[in-house]
Chain A
Amino acid sequence: MTTLTGKHASNAAAFIKDEARTDWHDETLWMVRHKRDLAAAGVLEWEALRNYASNIKEHTLSNLDDYLSEFEKNALANGIIVHWAPDAAAHNQIVYSIIKDAGIDRIVKSKSMLTEECHLNPFLISKGIEVTDTDLGERIVQLRKEIPSHIVLPAIHLKKEDVSHTFHEFLGTEANNNDPQYLTGAARIHLRDKFIESTLAITGVNFAIAETGGFVVCTNEGNADMGVHSATIHIACMGIEKIIPKAAHLGVFTRLLARSATGQAITTYTSHFHRPQPGKQIHVVIVDNGRTTQLGREDFRNSLKCIRCGACSNTCPVFRRSGGHSYHASVAGPIGSILAPNMNSTQYADLPFASSLCGSCSNVCPVKIDIHYQLWKWRQVLMQKGEGSIGKKWMMQGMAYIFARPKLYRFAGSFARKFLRTVPFLAQSKTFNPWYKNRELPQAPKQSFTEWYKKQQ
């Protein structure tokens, strides 16, 4: 397994050692961002849709208990079995119990970031269950014993040569045949057998509708549907924030989701599940796992509006150049960096700092989450909690002291200019000044703007 360890800065340093690959990663995600721009520009009412989507989500969060109750009531009436899990362990146990009761030892699973968050796969495997991820990107990373590096594009950190090598090893494809068409065809055949063999399928949930007691799953490959319709038992796992009030609201979210994610007008399949076929079962597992805590954090509760499109990652200058695995969290990128500290403020203390605070994430977010503002807010919370490094703390306190004292500030400025002119090599030492590793300092000016201005009088 890819271990979710290290800190963003050191993980990113390892990632960018391969310069060509870093450039490719950067350019490819920027291309996806560009496709998103074209798709958004094609909808005249785009900004009105974003505002409405944000309003629907904020309204839902402020009545979440009622909408969850309404959803359960309607789902039960539809013949869906509903489970409630306060945390990841309870979620995993519920899923395992269903599998065990059915006497099954192999299952298929389509993409679900919630099950990644709960580490369902390692849990089920430890219980002797064979788990096959059926999304192509997820299958690739699963065979490589990695985790998805992006919530929508799980294998975006890999090149076709890597996939070819992995498939040659595990699926017996021709060595060095790097043709994506050929490799996808091989995965199709390999996974067809898994679909036919399996009698239980797990999916995520994109939207659950309180009014109708059903839920929607979006895919391009058709893997969720192939798995679910081949099986007799369907388990759909959802976080409590996936609820929307009415079916009509799907009109808003289906227009925003795929355009924001990949620049498609809609995913190939938008599947609506309301009742099982005769003789079959649908289970829904509703999971909290820290979400109610986040709901209580006034500055951060809006992060629960997220519909997991990944647009914030595609546009992020830090994500594009550091790769998803650097974030050592199940949801990587800007949105993950405001969700993860809620779960563990020590383990993920570095993530809100892995940002330039440029604000591009907030500008592309289809539900208008103020992501960069929340990153900045988390920094303050984490520094106050003592989660920042000592060096950063002293530096910040020192700067606050200087900035609060104009005379000292002017002295420090003139000292710094002299220092940089006389011993520039000290500032340029990558040992003493890590800032300099990938940057260059401009020539220090002889005078400050204030000094220059006074001479003009």
Chain B
Amino acid sequence: MSTSNKESILNRIRQNKPNPVLLKENNFGNFPATALQLIATLKAIKTEAVLIPHLNAVQEEIQQLQQKGNVVLNVLNNLNAVEQDQLSKKSAADLASLDYAFIKGQFAVTENGAIWVSDKNIFNRLIPFICKHLVIVIEASNILTNMHQAYTAINIREEGYGVFIAGPSKTADIEQSLVIGAHGPLSLKVYIIQKES
């Protein structure tokens, strides 16, 4: 049934499609990007961004949050195979109590504040969405200017899932009033590691 449906649709397209239109090539430039540009963009989408020289500051924050009784998930360090497997099998009910998640981002884009995160950074696709507060750590050397550069830098098919995250979840569905924290995190914080040269 499905094959015949497919063929009938494709045949109708063949009958009705217009003459071939050539695909043009375009180049929208390669501009240098800075951490300060990214921080400004993130601020405009209600995201705190902090420049730090080393991951130590983040590790200290994680300890403090845990001492205050928060449920914190830290996937900044490489997990071993067993830990990865355990994390990947956790359900929404298992993860519902997660207060903070600390994850690595691969690339950040200054024009819109979007940060690329994929399966290998999270192991369980729920993590960046189900936590109350999300913290993403990126390296300053991985800051790009625009989405054209971003799609050149990443291979979207390399992994099963990847997402650009730009700010905390939000909605304006009630009278166009912006409310931060819809279904995903109530806040997003970004640490940018800029190694001293």
A192-B96, A245-B23, A286-B9 known; A61-B18 Cβ under 8 A: yes
Q: Which residue on B lies nearest to A77, using beta carbons? A: B157
Asked whether A265 lies within 8 Å of B113 as measured between CB atoms, the reply is yes
Contact pattern, A 1-43, Cβ under 8 Å of B = 1, otherwise 0: 0000000000000000000000000001001100000000001
Contact partner of B157 (CB less than 8 A), chosen from A65, A78, A292, is A78
Q: A221-B182, A267-B166 are in contact. List 18 more A-B contacts (CB 8 A).
A: A31-B176, A62-B20, A78-B157, A159-B175, A180-B175, A213-B157, A221-B170, A251-B148, A251-B149, A251-B152, A252-B26, A254-B147, A264-B45, A265-B45, A266-B113, A269-B164, A270-B166, A271-B161
Contact pattern, A 332-372, Cβ under 8 Å of B = 1, otherwise 0: 00000000000000000000000000000000000000000
Contact partner of A295 (CB less than 8 A), chosen from B16, B93, B160, B169, is B16
B6 within 8 A of A: yes
B178 to chain A, nearest CB (A): 8
B68 within 8 A of A: no
Q: Which residue on B lies nearest to A161, using beta carbons? A: B175
Asked whether A184 lies within 8 Å of B5 as measured between CB atoms, the reply is no
A136-B182, A196-B96 known; A292-B164 Cβ under 8 A: no
Contact pattern, A 34-63, Cβ under 8 Å of B = 1, otherwise 0: 000000000101001100100110110111
Asked whether A251 lies within 8 Å of B173 as measured between CB atoms, the reply is no
A61-B18, A134-B183, A212-B156 known; A225-B23 Cβ under 8 A: no
Residues of A contacting B150 in the complex (Cβ-Cβ under 8 angstroms): 251
Bound complex: CA A251 to CA B129 (Å): 24
A136-B182, A251-B146 known; A63-B17 Cβ under 8 A: yes
Contact partner of B184 (CB less than 8 A), chosen from A225, A245, A273, A278, is A225
Contact pattern, B 73-96, Cβ under 8 Å of A = 1, otherwise 0: 000000000000000100111001
Residues of A contacting B48 in the complex (Cβ-Cβ under 8 angstroms): none
Asked whether A265 lies within 8 Å of B41 as measured between CB atoms, the reply is yes
Residues of B contacting A135 in the complex (Cβ-Cβ under 8 angstroms): 173
Asked whether B163 lies within 8 Å of A136 as measured between CB atoms, the reply is no
The 3 closest A-B pairs by CB, nearest first: A222-B184, A296-B16, A275-B160
Asked whether B161 lies within 8 Å of A274 as measured between CB atoms, the reply is yes
B55 within 8 A of A: no
B22 within 8 A of A: yes
Asked whether B9 lies within 8 Å of A84 as measured between CB atoms, the reply is yes
Asked whether A269 lies within 8 Å of B162 as measured between CB atoms, the reply is no
Contact partner of B171 (CB less than 8 A), chosen from A184, A196, A214, is A184
Interface segment, one of A150-158, A317-325, A390-398, A427-435: A150-158
Interface size on A, residues (CB 8 A): 95
A310 within 8 A of B: no
Asked whether B156 lies within 8 Å of A268 as measured between CB atoms, the reply is no
Asked whether A248 lies within 8 Å of B5 as measured between CB atoms, the reply is no
Bound complex: CA A288 to CA B174 (Å): 33
Interface size on B, residues (CB 8 A): 74
Interface residues of B (CB under 8 A from A): 2, 5-6, 8-10, 12-24, 26, 28-29, 41, 45, 88, 91-93, 96, 111-114, 124-126, 128-130, 146-152, 155-157, 159-177, 179, 181-185
Bound complex: CA A137 to CA B8 (Å): 36
Asked whether B125 lies within 8 Å of A277 as measured between CB atoms, the reply is yes
Asked whether A251 lies within 8 Å of B151 as measured between CB atoms, the reply is yes
B87 to chain A, nearest CB (A): 12
Contact partner of B164 (CB less than 8 A), chosen from A45, A252, A266, is A266
Bound complex: CA A45 to CA B27 (Å): 11
Bound complex: CA A73 to CA B115 (Å): 30
Contact pattern, A 125-166, Cβ under 8 Å of B = 1, otherwise 0: 000000000111100100000000000011110111001000
Bound complex: CA A195 to CA B93 (Å): 9
Asked whether A230 lies within 8 Å of B23 as measured between CB atoms, the reply is no
A209 within 8 A of B: yes
Contact partner of A56 (CB less than 8 A), chosen from B8, B23, B45, is B23
Asked whether B41 lies within 8 Å of A295 as measured between CB atoms, the reply is no
Q: Which residue on B lies nearest to A191, using beta carbons? A: B183
Contact partner of A248 (CB less than 8 A), chosen from B13, B151, B165, is B151
Bound complex: CA A140 to CA B169 (Å): 18
